[in-house]
Each structure stands twice: as C-alpha cells, then as structure tokens.
Amino acid sequence: QVQLVESGGGLVQPGGSLRLSCAASGITFSMYDMSWYRQAPGKQRELVAAITSRGSTNYVDSVKGRFTISRNNSKNTMALQMNSLKPEDTAVYFCNADRRSQRYWGQGTQVTVSS
C-alpha cells in the first residue's frame, strides 16, 4: 500500500518560514519524481516545486528564491523549505510521487500565512 504523508503545515506570519515534509512508503522512492503542489480556495491545484529521481529541480516563478525542494532517498522523504512566506502562499500543500503511469498523492497539509 502506497502512502505519502505530509507534515509541517501551520499558521505563520508574513515573512516567516515553514518546512514541509513528505514521508513515502510502499514505493521504491528513489525511482520516483517527486513534487509539491498547492491548492488555494477557489483555485486550481498548481505545481509549486519538483525534484526528479536524479535530483534536478524546478520551481514555479512565484516561489523562486524563496522555496527549496530536497529529497533524502535513504529516508524516503522529501522536504520543502519555505522562506519569506506571503499571504498568497496560503493553500493546502500536497506531496506527489510520479513514475511513468504511476502517480500518487498525499492527503495534504494546510499552510496559512496571515498576521
């Protein structure tokens, strides 16, 4: 059974930081491309950051320079370090694992940026 479990969300003030984690089980983690998506109320889910199985990364323009995605294949985990958070970063953040036709999602973790 595949499980992706996100953690680390919460309420933070503008300019603050959070670190999200995704723990994977039931897959050969090192072979999967991993990514973070987010969905704000009333909006479509969007890709935030991705890291391939080989470690290449890419980011949506709105988070470049503020967010950093990383992975630890020995621990089957992925992280998203989020700095200089803005109110527009408020959303539910989802972990995604993708390999060929196999795609899995976590249940999401809420991030709220507000004063």
Do residues 84 and 15 touch, judged by C-beta distance below 8 A?
yes
Question: What is the structure's pLDDT at 101?
Answer: 84
Which candidate, 66, 103, 110, 61, places its Cα nearest to that of 84? Answer: 66
Q: What is the pLDDT of residues 17-36, one digit of tens each?
A: 999 999 999 999 999 999 99
pLDDT of residue 86: 98
Q: What confidence tens digit (pLDDT) does each residue in 60-97 have?
A: 999 999 999 999 999 999 999 999 999 999 999 999 99
